[in-house]
Structure 1
Amino acid sequence: MEATSSTGAETKEEKPGKIFIAGSTGKTGKRIVEQLLSKGFGVRAGVRDLEKGRSSLPQNPNLQIVRADVSEGSEKLAEAIGDAEAVVCATGFKPSFDVFAPWKVDNFGTVNLVDACRKVGVKRFVHVSSILVNGAAMGQLLNPAYIFLNLFGLTLVAKLQAEKYIKRSGINYTIIRPGGLKNDPPAGNIVMEPEDTLYQGSISRDQVAEVAVEALQCPESFFKVVEIVARIEAPERPLKDLFSSIKKQ
């Protein structure tokens, strides 16, 4: 793949050779793994349960399954990342009686992952977050979706704090905020907006994975927060063009 510089000259765009995915057995993470493998990437799939990883992820010579729990600290995560050149965070807490679970996973877990990247020299980080994380500042405190998503230990607040840490870290990031996640195949085309723009809408997890994979290869996505939903009436546009339409932070 090639990109054109501001001087008009063509420059080769480097594709990361191996990608580490945190949350690889999750509904979105698994799709990211599958799409990366289909494009020929090497993948280190981080999973909390190795047996589950081996049974649910595809058999592929380019896939390594490694144990990785984001709540256990950056040292162990650094070992799990290994020789990967980029990291995708697709983690998410599972509802439980532990009211601190969202903070352990969606806040401190993401912080641990960023710190692990620093330890091993990974400079590219793609993070799957959620629209409405900044709902309070958007005047959406009474939005039913904002209220519901914060019922479990202030999940969106935890995610927002993690986003702030990513931005301050100095790492080359892309933060993807999808709307309501659907397990169904895509219905409609992707709409991409700047941060704190969208407060409703849904999108297929397949399309979220597509955006995450494209972000790894697309310089137009660097240092950006994007919000995505799918709409039937939206025109189909290349993801590179969608990323180009969003200003850097």
Structure 2
Amino acid sequence: MSKTLIIGASGQIGQMVTKTLAETDEAVRTLVRDKSKLNHIKSSGLDIVEADLENDFSQAFEGVDTVIFVAGSGVSTGADKTLLVDLWAAKKAVDYSKQANVKHFIMLSSIGADDPDAIASDIKPYLVAKHMADQYLMVSGVPFTIVRPGPLTNDEGQGKITIRRPDNLEEMSIPRSDVAKSTLFILTRDDLNGKIFELFGGTYDVDTVLVY
């Protein structure tokens, strides 16, 4: 049976992905710093591993086929945590995945990670960290899909997206639930390895626009 490891499962998108997979009784392992944050998710197929991403967390990769990296330092932290989580922990996760012969690594990145200089932003350290993590994954030899959503909102998702970047930053936002739905769809596909998707709120169904 295949097993998916979700790194950052206690975050908002991570919880959405975990809950959906757990409800289908898929074999899921979650990596969190505090497992009590997942107490509300009940499933016989859910394996919760407690670990700090700033330390060694290689034990979580045993028997794993797919990795979903949705961890983030958070907007309230400084550049030090951004460096340690969004870059260094992501780099370690790629290394552990390579050692474990993971078949698919799905990286949640960010709009602007392709070129942190191109978008005027007060979160440039975060974009630089995401850029470097993405680049490391791309040359690692680990099969990957990178997801770069626009600004995240807590609006109710409609399952409608676009992968064409809008002209205005104000139109680039996307509900977190639609990012989670897109991630779950990518998880089911073997033909999206090597793809990089920018995601924005739109008018296209996830299962049609992410197939090309």
Measure, in 2, the Cα distance between the counterparts of 1:188 and 1:19.
Answer: 22
CA contact (8 A) 1:35 1:210 kept: no
The answer to whether residue 152 in structure 2 is matched with residue 178 in structure 1 is no
CA contact (8 A) 1:24 1:90 kept: yes
The answer to whether residue 60 in structure 2 is matched with residue 93 in structure 1 is no
Q: How does 1:77-88 map to 2 (within 5 A)?
A: 77-88=57-68
Residue 36 of structure 1 and its aligned partner are, at CA, apart by 1.5
RMSD: 2.0
Residue 123 of structure 1 and its aligned partner are, at CA, apart by 2.3
Which stretches in structure 1 are left out of the alignment for 5+ residues? 1-15
Residue 149 of structure 1 and its aligned partner are, at CA, apart by 2.0
Choose from 101, 107, 113 the match for 2:87.
107
Measure, in 1, the Cα distance between the counterparts of 2:15 and 2:77.
Answer: 26
Residue 188 of structure 1 and its aligned partner are, at CA, apart by 6.8
Letter in 2 for 1:244: V
Measure, in 1, the Cα distance between the counterparts of 2:159 and 2:179.
Answer: 13
CA contact (8 A) 2:5 2:31 kept: yes
Residue 119 of structure 1 and its aligned partner are, at CA, apart by 1.9
In the other structure, the counterpart of 1:156 is 127
What is the TM-score when the length of structure 1 is the normalising length? 0.77
SS of alignment partner, residue 94 of structure 1 = coil
- Decide which structure has the larger Cα Rg and report it: 1
1:61-84 CA deviation, whole Å, 9 max, x = no partner?
A: 1111111322213xxx22112222
Q: Percent identity?
A: 27
Residue 171 of structure 1 and its aligned partner are, at CA, apart by 0.8
What is the TM-score when the length of structure 2 is the normalising length? 0.89
In the other structure, the counterpart of 2:10 is 25
In the other structure, the counterpart of 1:71 is 54
Measure, in 2, the Cα distance between the counterparts of 1:209 and 1:136.
Answer: 24
1:132-164 CA deviation, whole Å, 9 max, x = no partner?
A: 123446x43xx3xxx1222xxx11001000000
Residue 243 of structure 1 and its aligned partner are, at CA, apart by 2.5
Evaluate the alpha carbon distance shift between residue 164 and residue 80 of structure 1 in structure 2; reply closer, same or farther with a 3 A threshold: same
